[in-house]
Amino acid sequence: MLKIDNLSVKVHDKDVLRKVSLEIKNGETHALLGPNASGKSTLAYTVMGFPDYEIIEGKISFNGRDITGFPIEERAKLGIALAFQHPPAVKGVKLSSLLEKTAKQPVNVKEFPLTLDLLEREVNVGFSGGERKLSEIIQIIGLSPSFVVFDELDAGLDIVNLERLTSIIQEKLLSNGVSILLITHRGNILHYLEPDIVHVMLDGKIVCSSEDWRRVWRTITRYGYEKCKECKFPSGQP
């Protein structure tokens, strides 16, 4: 579904990603682990087509189509969606109105733990961390995407909210064959949304890829991310 070939990216004249290659097939869940400032979010924004993320070399393909030069809106139309680590506040727009305008399919908000008060408030204005993430997930479900990048979904969430939100993702996205890239540096979310393949990014490079996410996470928690450079499953050889 998504194929990234030898991708190098600059942000404001700074080299951030270096020859990154990654392939996610239909219905797969991949996790991208790495410390802060390792390049994970840059990869997410580059996949989505944000203009400040300059591709120096390489390409991005989606369902066999080269989308390297496509703008954000074209990628969204093809079925790519991004959930932000810090969903922005949108003043002057009610959440209910946003869902009505953007949803490609009807969204039954009664299926989600949203209060009517929340629906009639401005998008993410005064929302708690859990409410912001829930709002983001519901918007994505309405878009009916085939591929979603979740950037630090677990950031700022307690266990109760993490369980609740990952349960919604399981039911509404994964069960419908949606492919997912989970970006995280904590790893707690992997216990709720177990990935098919886990990758580790350091200094803008994917240094390790493995089907055994538990082994990788145990290594990280015991020795730190630098130990992943010695991984017996180098990038591209899960």
Per-residue pLDDT, 114 = 63
**Res 228 pLDDT > 50:** yes
Question: And the tokens for 202?
Answer: 């350091």
Instruction: Give the DSSP letter string of 123-139.
Output: ETTT--HHHHHHHHHHH
Q: Work out the mean pLDDT of the chain and round it to a whole number.
A: 89
| Tens digits of residue pLDDT in 88-131 | 889 999 988 888 888 887 777 677 766 667 788 899 898 888 88
Instruction: Return the closest-CA partner of residue 173 out of 153, 188, 155, 156.
Output: 153
Look up residue 66 and give its DSSP letter: E
